[in-house]
């Protein structure tokens, strides 16, 4: 079951963050891989990397992606997707990178 959060960016644009269970996220990646998205179509390797990353940074609403926005009841024109529980992993990775950067700068 997905949960949507709408975030307002500093410039006023809105983006929907969609939190999915792992199975639903991987199903979405498979659908995107098997759908003709024109120049944005996913290769098998790209789909595998997205599954490993457990998040999609951004999808824009368009003619070929509208079905994704309808499926997840997304009202904004831009969305990102993340596997439930993976946000804390991303924050930990970012924190470690910032600590290494700060150590190099000191």
Q: Which domain holds residue 71?
A: 3-105
Q: Give me the residue label for tokens 């368009």.
A: 62
Per-residue pLDDT for the chain (106 aa), expressed as one digit of tens each? 788 999 898 899 999 999 999 999 999 999 989 887 776 678 899 999 999 999 998 999 988 889 999 999 999 999 999 999 887 887 777 788 888 888 888 7
Report the pLDDT value the prediction gives residue 40, as an integer from 0 to 100.
Answer: 67
The reported pLDDT for the residue numbered 18 is 94
pTM over 0.85: no
Q: Structurally, how many domains does the chain consist of?
A: 1
């Amino acid at each position: 079951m997905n949960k949507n959060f709408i975030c307002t960016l500093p410039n006023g644009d809105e983006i929907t963050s969609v939190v999915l269970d792992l199975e639903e996220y991987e199903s979405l990646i498979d659908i995107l891989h098997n759908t003709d998205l024109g120049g944005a179509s996913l290769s098998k390797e790209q789909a595998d990397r997205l599954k490993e990353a457990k998040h999609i940074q951004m999808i824009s609403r368009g003619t070929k992606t509208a079905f994704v926005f309808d499926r997840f009841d997304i009202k904004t024109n831009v969305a990102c997707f993340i596997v439930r529980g993976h946000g804390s992993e991303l924050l930990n990775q970012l924190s470690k990178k910032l600590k290494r950067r700060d150590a190099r700068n000191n």
